[in-house]
Structures are given as C-alpha cells and as structure tokens.
Amino acid sequence: MRIRLVQVNSVVGDVSGNLERIMAHVSEAERDQVNIVVFPEMALAGYPPEDLLFRPSFLRDLAAAQETLAQRARTTLVIAGYAYAEGQGIRNAAAVMAQGRTLARVAKQHLPNYGVFDEARYFTPGSGTTIFRWGQWTLGVSICEDVWYPDGPYLRQARQGANLLINISASPFSRGKSAVRQQMLSTRADDAAAYLVWTNLVGAQDELVFDGTSAVFGPDGQVLARAKAFQEDVLTVELTRTPSQHRRWIDPRWRLVPLEEDTVDVVDVPLESVGEGAAARARVEPLPDTIPSLYEALCLGLKDYVQKNRFGDVVIGLSGGIDSALTATIAVDALGADRVHGVFMPSAITSDASYQDAKALSDNLGIDWRVIPISAIMTAFLQELSPSFGQRPVDLTEENLQARIRGTLLMGLSNKLGWLVLTTGNKSEMATGYSTLYGDMAGGFAVLKDVLKTEVFRLARYVNEVAGYPRIPQNVLTKPPSAELRPDQKDEDSLPPYAMLDQILQGYIEDDLTPEELIRQGLDAEAVNLTVRLVNRNEYKRRQAPVGIKVTPRAFGRDRRMPITGRF
C-alpha cells in the first residue's frame, strides 16, 4: 500500500484556492501511482472557520468544492476534510472519494469544546462505525479528537477488522504538545495493532499555529515516517499488511474479547486491489526542541497573519530593549528585512545606550531605521493639559503619555504607509498589566503576547546561537529590563524578579493553582499575592489587546476566558 500524507496550509474561507491546491496534489499522487492520498481536517474550508459555518453560501461553496474534488479523484483514493450540512445540523467530516464519486462521508464523533475549540457551537457529532474494504486491506477513517480518546472510533474500527487507521487532524501547536501528541498516537497504534496514518494541518490562523509533523506509526507504535514541522510537506510511505495481522494473532485481546454491539457500514473501494508489496523506509523528520519550536511557531504565526491578511510591511517601535529586539528579529526571519521598519522614539529620559542598542540591532538585521523624537510632542501635551492637571504631582500619568505618543506615531505611519504595527509586549507584561493601554499596546498584532519574559531571553540567546554572533546585541541581553518612562526606572521596581514572576504566572494561569497552593510550593507570599492581584485587575486591558500568537497551553484570549467584573 503506497500512501501519501499532504500537510497543506489552508486559508480559512478560501474554498476555491484550497481546492486548487488540493487538486494539484491529487494529480501528482495519481501520476506517482499512489494508492491513498490524505489531506488534513477541514482542508477545504480552513480551520477554524468559526461563524462562517452559519452562512448557507459558505456551506454551498464547500459542497460544490467537495463534489469537484470527488470527480477529480480517479485511480487514487482521496481523503480530505470539510464541513457539510445534514438535516438540522452541520458535520465536521472526512470525504472519502475515488472513481469520480464520493464513497462515504465520515463525521467527527468527539467534538472538542475546551480551550480554543468551540466545535459544539457548530457541529453535530457523528455516530456508528464505517470501514472500507480494499483487497487485503481494511481502512478506518476518523477525525482529530476521535483519536485522542482511548476507546474512540479508531478502536471500534480496528475491532471490525481495520488494519490501516487514518486520522485527519487540525491540531494546533503549543509548548511541549508535539511530543505528548506523538506519544499518544504511538499508543493508539499499539493498542489497535494497526498502522496509524495521522495527517495534520500546517500554517497559522489568527492566534493559532498548526505545526504539521504528520506521521505514520506501525502496529507496534513505532514511528515509521514523519513530515517536517512548521512547513508544508508531502510524505509518501509504502506499507505491508503482515505486521498488523501478526500482532492480532498473538495478542489475546483480539481473540478472546467479544466485538461490541455496533452499527457497521462496510464500503467497498472500487479500485484495483493493492498487493502486499514491500514496506519501504521513509524519512522521519525530527521534532524540534522546545525553544527552536517556539521560535518557528512565532515566525510562522507572524508570516501567515501578514500574508493571509494581505498586509505588506510591518513597523515596530524599537526601544533598545529585548522585547522589541526579539520582535524585530522574528519579523525579519518571517518576512524579510525589506518588509520590516524600525522606529526609535526617544524622550528626554531615553538613554544614549538605548539609542546605540536599537541602532546596532537595526544594522545587524538590515532593516529600515528612523528616529522620531517625542520630547517636543510631550511638552505640547503637558502644556495643553496643565490647566486641568493643576498642581498635582508627576506620576504614572506622565509615563503613560510618553507611551501613548509613541503609539500614536506608529499608528500614523501605519495609516499613511499601510504598515502593520507589531506590538512588543510579552506575556508577563500582559498578565500583570505592565503595559500602557493605547500606548505600547496599540497595534495590529502581538507577536510575543503568549511568551513569558524568561522565554524571551531564552529565545534571544537562541537567535544568537543560530547566527553564530550577537545578532541581538549583547548589551540588550544583559542590561536590566526597563520601560524608560522615568529616570533610573527598572521593571523589577514594580514587579517581582522575572524568574519568580514567570513561575507564579505559569502556576496561576496555566495550572489554575490558588495563591495558597503557590505559596506552599515555596514561592514568596508577598510576590504571589501581588502577582495574582495584578493579573486579576488587568483583565480589562487584555480584552483590548491585539490578537497574538498562541504558543502555550493557556494563552490569553480565546483560550483563557475570565470575567472583567468579578470578585472571586
């Protein structure tokens, strides 16, 4: 059996474009005499399509595209994800096609409705068991979440004789998830004593990044093939039926456990029978380590957001600090230096060292660099506000005015020149509200929104390790972080040290631990209580922040949803 996995970068709502790309791959598969070609979940629609699914015209376009694809599928069995309306509901389905027609539509049975997923809002779950008979092979098809359940549809298909299980997926990336997911899939293949073919989406959609790494697992759970991470890829592997059959002969679970009562639909594949052939070794691409995968996810997330939304260039306010330096570096690696613009906006408080660091970074990256001083603007603001401010002492108001002037200047460049403003705030700042609403939060896309400050430093060091020289100037990595909105200001004047702060944030935000539980872990009580208080009272700011890339298991926005008004 020669099977091909195609991890495509679909665009949500671009049904005709997605269809065109898929049909090109089908033509190549038939030319190469591939028996089965598999595309990811929602490959025709893009994922997640959200409320587009409630538009009848969108569903009509999907139905027409799927029919066109079915007519194109001739000598190769084609499996691709899409959505269709049936009765009173909408199904998330895999279309199984050959000989110019649709052989079956297999609907997703387990609908995720947690974290970033809202599938119960849109879909009606499928039921029953469908298997496909093709000579000596029996196939089972399932969709994403269906394989995460130990007793999911894949296992029922295996008990009905399926020795080749195909799961199409749109599984988004988060820190550490790739290894966990691969281990889960290995276990499912071993439990089913069957080949497991898993084809995952790749690319980014708004805040979500899909990392690909489509893979084939043997009946013993071993990885036989794996596609690349964070890029489109085509993976072809040849399988032999014997290992799956042999494991079931010797495993008493397959001989002594009775079949469950189930409705089974058996579909014959009307193609020439596939012989045994010989199992061929395929490439097994490595899974990236934590920091490299975070960096690749951020680059892909930015690249796809800019290109899929048809933006041209991006602009970044460069402060000489590490957050703006890392954001600019990611932008260059994602888009190219010619599409990235850096703006340094000094005030009377800004140090010469910050200028030198920002200029050195711009030179290293080869980006457009310009300086727009804000001192005169600040003076004009204070003059106009002085009758209202009266004799009140200088405080946070004047600090925030500087940030808001900078935000206004960047948005002016954006409006006039069509550049997308990238904000530079990280997750530690977003969590604690250590940012200025309508100031440094002003912009269209937040690259580091889900990256803790300690991870920002690790990513910056990784950038320099890969480059082999201090691409991000060494002084940027070593000087104490500062907003430079008042003389001699340091972040840790207002916040706990970042190493401690990020540990508290990870426990409180990602693990839902209480302050008492965090303190029992040995964390400083005063720091814990301050951090929790800051997180809780700044939800209103986060609601007004631009969309950003999700890279952790619990990101702000669609993932972590908390009330603004509340007293818990």
The residues annotated as belonging to the active site are 41, 108, 144
What residues does each domain of the chain span? 2-268, 290-491+538-543, 496-537
Each residue of 433-444: b (16+ CB within 10 Å) or e? bbbbbebbbbbb
The C-alpha atoms of residue 45 and residue 24 are separated, in whole angstroms, by 17
In CATH, which superfamily holds the domain spanning 2-268?
Answer: Carbon-nitrogen hydrolase (3.60.110.10)
Q: What is the pLDDT of residue 280?
A: 54
Q: What is the pLDDT along the chain (568 residues), one digit of tens a residue?
A: 899 999 999 999 999 999 999 999 999 999 999 999 999 999 999 999 999 999 999 999 999 999 999 999 999 999 999 999 998 899 999 999 999 999 999 999 999 998 889 999 999 999 999 999 999 899 999 999 999 999 999 999 999 989 999 999 999 999 999 999 999 999 999 999 999 999 999 999 999 999 999 999 999 999 999 999 999 999 999 998 766 566 677 777 665 566 665 678 999 999 987 765 555 568 999 999 999 999 999 999 999 999 999 999 999 999 999 999 999 999 999 999 999 999 999 999 899 999 999 999 999 999 999 999 999 999 999 999 999 999 999 999 999 999 999 999 999 999 999 999 999 999 999 999 999 999 999 999 999 999 999 999 999 999 999 999 999 999 999 988 877 777 877 877 788 999 999 999 999 999 999 999 999 999 999 999 999 999 999 999 999 999 999 999 889 988 888 888 887 7
The C-alpha atoms of residue 97 and residue 79 are separated, in whole angstroms, by 6
The C-alpha atoms of residue 87 and residue 92 are separated, in whole angstroms, by 14
The C-alpha atoms of residue 284 and residue 300 are separated, in whole angstroms, by 22
CA–CA distance from 262 to each of 38, 71, 91, 108, 269 (Å)? 26, 32, 21, 16, 21
Q: Cis peptide leading into 387, omega within 30 of 0? A: no
In CATH, which superfamily holds the domain spanning 290-491+538-543?
Answer: HUPs (3.40.50.620)
Which region, left, alpha or beta, applies to residue 279 given φ > 0 means left and ψ of -120 to 50 means alpha? beta
Q: Do residues 123 and 90 lie in contact, with contact meaning Cβ atoms separated by under 8 Å?
A: yes
Please tell me whether residue 457 adopts helix, strand or coil conformation: helix
pTM for the predicted model, two decimal places: 0.93
Beta carbons within 10 angstroms of residue 453's beta carbon: 23
The C-alpha atoms of residue 341 and residue 433 are separated, in whole angstroms, by 27
Amino acid, single-letter form, for residue 117: F
The C-alpha atoms of residue 170 and residue 156 are separated, in whole angstroms, by 22
Q: What is the pLDDT of residue 282?
A: 82
| DSSP, res 50 | G
The C-alpha atoms of residue 521 and residue 503 are separated, in whole angstroms, by 11
Q: Minimal CA–CA distance to 8: which of 105, 79, 65, 58?
A: 79
Q: Do residues 207 and 558 lie in contact, with contact meaning Cβ atoms separated by under 8 Å?
A: yes
Q: Please report the beta strands in 170-278, taking only residues with DSSP state E, as ranges in sequence order.
A: 195-200, 202-205, 208-211, 215-217, 223-226, 233-238, 264-268
No. of H helices and E strands in the chain? 19, 20
